[in-house]
Structure 1
Amino acid sequence: MSTLTQHLLARIEAHGPMTVADYMGEALLHPTMGYYTTRDPLGAAGDFTTAPEISQMFGELIGLSLAQAWLDQGAPAPFTLAELGPGRGTLMADILRATRAVPGFHAAAQLHLVEASPTLRVKQRDTLGDQVTWHDSLDTLPDQPLYLIANEFFDALPIRQYQRGSEGWHERLIAMRDGALAFALGPELPQPHLTHRLADTEPDNIVETCPQATAIADQIGTRIRDAGGTALLIDYGDWRSQGDTLQALQDHAFIDPLTAPGASDLTAHVDFEALAQAAPCAHSRLTPQGVFLERLGITARAQTLAANLSGAALASHIAAHRRLTHPEEMGNLFKVLALFPEGGTPPAGCTT
Structure 2
Amino acid sequence: MSLLDHLRRRVATEGPLPVTDVMADALTHPRFGYYATRDPFGAAGDFVTAPEVSQMFGELIGLWAAVVWQQMGSPGHVHLVELGPGRGTLMADALRASRPVPGFHAALQVHLVEASRTLREIQERSLSGYASSWHDDVSGLPDGPVIVIANEFFDALPIAQLVRTGAGWHERRLAFDPQTDAPVWTLTPGISPLAALLHPTVLMGARPGEIAEVSPAALSVADLLARRLKRDGGAALVIDYGHGESAAGDTLQAVQAHKSVDVLATLGEADLTAHVDFAALARAVSQGGGLAHGPVTQGAFLSALGIAQRAHGLMAKATPEQARDIEAATVRLIDPGEMGTLFKVAAWTGPAAAPPPGFEA
* 2:7 equivalent in structure 1: 8
Cα separation, partners in 2 of 1:241 and 1:150, compared to 1, 3 Å: farther
Mapped partners of 2:252, 2:326: distance in 1: 31
Which of 178, 196, 200 is the aligned partner of 1:192? 196
1:142-164 per-residue CA deviation (whole Å, 9 max, x = no partner) reads 21001010000000011000011
Deviations 1:84-141 (A, max 9, x none): 0001111001111111111110000111110000011101110112500111111221
Question: Structure 1 residue runs of 4+, over 3 Å off?
Answer: none
Cα RMSD, aligned residues only: 1.4
Q: CA deviation at 1:241?
A: 4.1
Shift of 1:188: 4.5
Partner of 1:39, secondary structure, is: coil
Are 1:57 and 2:56 an aligned pair?
Answer: yes
The residue correspondences of 1:40-51 to structure 2 (distance < 5 A) are 40-51=39-50
Number of the residue aligned with 1:335: 344
Contact 1:13–1:176 (Cα < 8 Å) also in 2: no
Amino acid at match of 2:21: D
**C-alpha separation in 2, matches of 1:200 and 1:294:** 36
| Cα distance in 2 between the residues matched to 1:8 and 1:141 | 31
Equivalent in 258, 266, 282 of residue 276 of structure 1: 282
Report what 2:240 is aligned to.
Answer: 235
Shift of 1:195: 6.6
Q: Which runs of 5+ in 2 are unaligned?
A: none
Question: Does structure 2 retain, via aligned residues, the 8 Å contact 1:5–1:260?
Answer: no
Distance 1:53 1:194 in 2: 35
List aligned pairs for 1:1-352, cutoff 5 A: 3-129=2-128, 131-177=131-177, 178-189=180-191, 191-194=195-198, 196=200, 197-239=202-244, 240-279=246-285, 280-351=289-360
What letter is aligned with 1:269? Answer: H
Instruction: Name which of structure 1's ranges 174-183 and 154-163 shifts more when overlaid on structure 2.
Output: 174-183
Question: Does the CA-based 8 Å contact 1:283-1:346 persist in structure 2?
Answer: no
- Counting matched residue pairs gives 351
Q: What amino acid is the match of 2:276?
A: V
Percentage identity across paired residues of the two chains:
50
- When the two structures are superposed, what TM-score results if normalisation uses the length of structure 1? 0.96
| Partners of 1:173 and 1:312 in 2: CA distance | 50
Contact 1:63 1:96 in 2 (8 A): yes
Deviations 1:210-233 (CA, angstroms, capped at 9, x unpaired): 001111111111111001001100
User: For residues 183 and 322 of structure 2, what CA distance do their matches in structure 1 show?
Assistant: 45
**SS in structure 1 at match of 2:341:** helix
Gaps of 5+ in 1: none
SS in 2 for 1:59: helix
State how far apart, in whole Å, the 2-side matches of 1:182 and 1:313 are.
48
111-120 vs 308-317, which moves further: 308-317
